[in-house]
Structure 1
Amino acid sequence: MNDTLRKSWIYLLGALFIVSSFIYLLKYTVDQGWITDGIKIGLGLAFGSGCVIGGLKWLQKKQQLVGEIVAGMGVAMLYTTFSFSGIYYAFWEPMTVFLCMIALTLGLSVLAFRIRLRLLMNISLLGGLLSPWMLRPETDQVFTLFLYLLVLNAAFFTVSLKHRWTELRLTSFIGTWILYAVYFLQFDPELGKLWSLPFRYALAAFGFYVIAFLVSSWKNNVNFDGLNLYLGIVNAIVFGLWSIIILDRIVPYSYPLIFMGVLYVALACIVQRLTRSFNGPVITKLVGGLLLILIASTQLGHHMAVKPLINVYFWTAIAIALLIAGTIKAYDSLKAVSIAIWFIVVLYWYTMTWSTPWGTWFGTFIPFLNWAALAWELLAAIGFYLSLRISFNKLGATENKLLAYVYSVISHLIIGGLLTVQIRNMIREYQLGSWMDFQLTLSIAWGIYALLLFLWGAYSRQSVYRIFGSIVLIAVAIKTLLFDLSGSETIYKVLVLFTLGVISFVIAYVNGRWKNTREVSQEISEEVPGEPSEESSGEMKI
């Protein structure tokens, strides 16, 4: 706010009182029925126009302060007359009000552009916003009201951008949301459906200011800090609260929050592209959007047994999106957040999977090809991709290699969980428990998995898989010999023990062949100096 406006705030307050008295007088005459409505409209037009003309005359005489105050009061009285004619009482059609608003606002904007009449603009805006608030319409001319607000906001925002008069932006923003509250409380509109008028108007106001603040920041030397950032946050909070109130008992509040979260993540991407940096406004929008999505996700699938499965897919999608963005832009922070989300989802799924529905296809359970199984497989695939492709620029080769092993081990644990859950569900679904013991079948599955780990370790020449396979095989042996064989003897136990014995012999054979291959490889390396062995090259294979 410049020095002239700071020194003239008392004149601004006085003009506001005069305009308020005019508005109240107009309303009082309606209540008393003293004169006809047509005469009131005529007097309002005449008195407002007279003040505008008189103010312009004062401006021509170089009496700028008096001229701006008088002309501003005249414009405010004209706005009041339009509001009275089209909103308080539907004497004029919405298009008539719209055309009058366009003509007056266009003329006012031209004056502001040409001779920078800042005080006049402030008085006019305050009067324009104050008149619907004080008149409190008794007829539901809501469309006309918001058409009126659209013209005011568009014009005064444009002038604010041109001359950087930030108080116009702030006043129009606050006044619009106050008028929305007046409309909501005054009319008590019907809220029985999702796409109701109150929600449409709130969404329109929210969308207008999202675009307006984005354009304003872009015009301001691509600077997204300051007032635009703070008002953008307030805009999101106000719309979020109104949407929760309006959509209560219609849809869960998670839906508007998800919409806002996705919108602000998209805005973060737009701002990042415009500024070409990962700055405060980008982080604010990104974190705010993700926080809204996080809050909303707690309600996704509410009262549904399948909610944990929805959460897993939802947050896995977010982790993938962040991973893609972090990889493309080479941002370690985004990759770290993605990996953290992936790890938390893995822990969550390990906890919740035992009581979650299987996610059948059209009522038919297909082992390893159902929604629950696909969740395991997707999480494992992400882990294997992390171990193969993802590294951090700020970490050395040793640290990145260690992290790659961690991702890989976690992924193999996920596969172990997949085998456990799917075998259990298969036995239950197809009623195989009469001849197929779950624990013994699980031991065979884990034994086969240990064999696969040894085979893959031999192929990739990575000792970590032999170690992990050995751990799995020892766990299978302890589980089978100490726990699974209790109870009565059955032919199935004999078959299981025989199968595990065969698997152990095959693993021993693979392990022996692996050692012989490594010894030959080391001898070749000693004979040909300078040729590093494949294992020492640092390549990570799953």
Structure 2
Amino acid sequence: MDQIIRKHWTSLLGVLFIVAAFVTLFKYTIDQGWINDYMKIGFGLLTGTGLCVAGLALTRRAISLAAVQIILGLGACILYATFSFAGIYYELWSPMTVLIGMTAVTAGASAFAYRFDSRLLMNIALAGGLLSPLLMQPITDQVFTLFLYLLVINSAFFYLSIAKNWTELRIHAFIGTWIVYAVYFVHFNPPTEGIWSMPFRYALAAFVFYLIGFLLSSWKSNRCFDGWNLYLSLANGVLFGCWAVFILYGELHYAYVLTFIGLVYLITGAVIRRLIGKIDVSSMSHALVGLLMLLLAATHVGSGMDVKPLINVYVWGGIAGVLAVVGQARRWVSMTVTSLVIWFAVGCYWFAVTWDTPRGEWFGTFIPFLNWGAMAWVLLAVIGFYYSIEAAKSNESMMSHTLAILAHLIVGGLLTVQIMSVFEEYFSGSSGQLLQLTLSVSWGIYALLLFLWGAYRRQSLFRWFGTGVLLLVAIKAMFLDLSGEVVLYKVLVLLVLGGISFLITWVNGKWAGEKAADVNVQESQDGA
């Protein structure tokens, strides 16, 4: 086709100039009132039909096929312009009349092109067919007729594009149709009240038509779903999404549009995967685009609700968990890394917003550590420990330890928030200092648990982490919690923290003794 374009692009441009002149003359005669509308229609039909008959007659003579195609293409363009004038610019013909006339001309041109491989003819006819309504820009709203007109053109040209593998026909039809849609939307400024308005229906019809068309095109092209078919299929979703969001603005939240497109592309990816029997670029691209749309839509679930942050954590935390499991099962590093990034971002987000987020009570009753807020912490912690365990299996000790520490920080956040909620719910009349003392004790106990875990797993990392927590608790207890008047509580807290410290010392000594014994056993075995 590149060779044909290089050789005959000036002829194609000349045809477009003639069509533009013909359309301009039509519109000028309207303004001047020289001849009536039916005479114009007759003149257009006579001229277009005459050129087509002349082109067919010349096929029997020793004239180049390119010249014949140009003449036939020019005749088809003039007929298309006449149909546009009669059925779209003025409602002189009914939509059924336009449909019959368009079908006849398009079928004739398609049959000739199929028989003689007249690629140039179809490109000229397509250019003229799309240019005519653009230049007409009618003064009355005959949009239904216009889209019948475009349906006939797209159906025929997509068929030839698939049958003859003439890629440029479907590319030009796709681009031209969406341009026509944009121009007529701006020109007519149609009403868009309600969810099921006519502009939305036409955009949806175009989206579905091209989605199916590109799938069929790929299937017929030796099941090759990549290349232009992939690019245009994705562009089709983008264009429809933009128009749908614009049209439905104020009627429907755009999250629903994204959800619809996401589901469609996920299903398309699954269909492609089924047809070719494997995961390729096209199926993966459609699936990823669908997943991205669903993720974007998920960020708006619960908009306007106080529990929106909690919903975000469940949605994105769940996504991170699923990606982590699938990534590990399939050994897809990119998916695992993506999951890790999402988990870390969600964790930071939850630490920032959890203080002002509702607790997520069950049946209106607050139960410590058994509420939706607590379960959000648990979800993030479980994912973190899962990462740590999988990293340890891969002998990535540094990564495993880092992830374990982050997971333990999440557990610390769980303890802190739940204790604060307990005081808010059941001890609302108590002083804030009592809450701080209670937090100090809980963190001290948590430091002890870290030491015990480190001794059990024989990992010094958790001992150091527990030491850090204990030091922070000591600083808090002695310099912050001691200000005030609740003396007995202070004494009790200090005694508890002292006991925890002595217990940690005992754990350390026992752990060091066991470690030394292991070393002696190893040395004796080496000596033997």
Distance (Å, rounded) in 1 between the aligned partners of 2:371 and 2:331: 35
Contact 2:204 / 2:240 at 8 angstroms: preserved in 1?
A: yes
2:404 to 381, 385, 408: 408
Instruction: Specify the alignment match of 1:49 in structure 2.
Output: 49
Instruction: Specify the alignment match of 2:360 in structure 1.
Output: 359
With 232-241 and 367-376 compared, the bigger mean Cα shift is at 232-241
Instruction: Specify the alignment match of 1:532 in structure 2.
Output: none
Instruction: Specify the alignment match of 1:537 in structure 2.
Output: none
> Does residue 140 of structure 2 align to residue 139 of structure 1?
yes
Contact 2:415 / 2:442 at 8 angstroms: preserved in 1?
A: yes
1:471 to 468, 473, 479: 468
Shift in CA distance, 24/500, structure 1 to aligned 2, threshold 3 Å: same
Q: How does 1:340-355 map to 2 (within 5 A)?
A: 340-355=341-356
Q: How does 1:378-457 map to 2 (within 5 A)?
A: 378-390=379-391, 397-398=394-395, 400-434=396-430, 437-457=434-454
Give 3-state SS (helix, strand or coil) of 2:480's partner: helix
Amino acid at match of 1:351: A
Shift of 1:479: 2.1
> Does residue 124 of structure 2 align to residue 118 of structure 1?
no
Specify every segment of 5 or more residues in structure 1 that has no aligned partner in the other structure, as ranges.
530-542
Shift in CA distance, 203/365, structure 1 to aligned 2, threshold 3 Å: farther
Instruction: Specify the alignment match of 2:372 in structure 1.
Output: 371
Give 3-state SS (helix, strand or coil) of 1:484's partner: coil
How many residues were matched structurally? 523
Amino acid at match of 1:188: N
> Does residue 128 of structure 2 align to residue 127 of structure 1?
yes
Instruction: Specify the alignment match of 1:202 in structure 2.
Output: 203
Shift of 1:125: 0.7
Amino acid at match of 1:420: T
Instruction: Specify the alignment match of 2:17 in structure 1.
Output: 17
Shift of 1:292: 6.6
Shift of 1:174: 2.3
Distance (Å, rounded) in 1 between the aligned partners of 2:506 and 2:237: 64
User: What is the TM-score with the length of structure 2 in the denominator?
Assistant: 0.83
Amino acid at match of 1:58: L
Distance (Å, rounded) in 2 between the aligned partners of 1:424 and 1:362: 20
Instruction: Specify the alignment match of 1:75 in structure 2.
Output: 76
Shift in CA distance, 485/143, structure 1 to aligned 2, threshold 3 Å: same
Shift of 1:277: 7.3
Shift in CA distance, 149/327, structure 1 to aligned 2, threshold 3 Å: farther
Shift of 1:176: 0.8
Shift in CA distance, 123/206, structure 1 to aligned 2, threshold 3 Å: same
Q: Deviations over 1:455-492 (max 9, x none)?
A: 44444444433333333233323322332122113443
Shift of 1:442: 1.2
Q: Deviations over 1:39-86 (max 9, x none)?
A: 655554454333323222222324322321222222223333443444
Instruction: Specify the alignment match of 1:485 in structure 2.
Output: 482
Q: Deviations over 1:404-431 (max 9, x none)?
A: 1211111010111111122212322334
Shift in CA distance, 520/271, structure 1 to aligned 2, threshold 3 Å: farther
Q: Deviations over 1:474-525 (max 9, x none)?
A: 3323322332122113443344344444544555555555556556666666
Shift in CA distance, 204/429, structure 1 to aligned 2, threshold 3 Å: farther
Shift of 1:8: 1.5
Distance (Å, rounded) in 2 between the aligned partners of 1:162 and 1:458: 72
With 281-290 and 490-499 compared, the bigger mean Cα shift is at 281-290
CA RMSD of aligned residues (A): 3.9
Shift of 1:99: 4.6
Amino acid at match of 1:469: G
Shift in CA distance, 524/90, structure 1 to aligned 2, threshold 3 Å: farther
Amino acid at match of 1:427: F
Task: Name the % identity.
Answer: 52
Distance (Å, rounded) in 1 between the aligned partners of 2:96 and 2:205: 19
Contact 2:450 / 2:466 at 8 angstroms: preserved in 1?
A: yes
> Does residue 60 of structure 2 align to residue 60 of structure 1?
yes
Shift in CA distance, 222/141, structure 1 to aligned 2, threshold 3 Å: same
Amino acid at match of 1:477: A
Distance (Å, rounded) in 2 between the aligned partners of 1:209 and 1:218: 14
Distance (Å, rounded) in 1 between the aligned partners of 2:99 and 2:496: 84
Amino acid at match of 2:464: I
Specify every segment of 5 or more residues in structure 2 that has no aligned partner in the other structure, as ranges.
none
Contact 2:207 / 2:237 at 8 angstroms: preserved in 1?
A: yes
Give 3-state SS (helix, strand or coil) of 2:139's partner: coil
Contact 2:391 / 2:397 at 8 angstroms: preserved in 1?
A: no
Amino acid at match of 1:471: G
Shift in CA distance, 342/74, structure 1 to aligned 2, threshold 3 Å: same
Distance (Å, rounded) in 1 between the aligned partners of 2:7 and 2:331: 51
With 492-501 and 255-264 compared, the bigger mean Cα shift is at 255-264
Give 3-state SS (helix, strand or coil) of 1:388's partner: helix
With 282-291 and 141-150 compared, the bigger mean Cα shift is at 282-291
Distance (Å, rounded) in 1 between the aligned partners of 2:80 and 2:442: 79
Shift of 1:238: 3.9
Shift in CA distance, 113/468, structure 1 to aligned 2, threshold 3 Å: same
User: What is the TM-score with the length of structure 1 in the denominator?
Assistant: 0.81
With 128-137 and 210-219 compared, the bigger mean Cα shift is at 210-219
Amino acid at match of 1:80: A
Instruction: Specify the alignment match of 1:337 in structure 2.
Output: 338
Shift of 1:388: 1.8
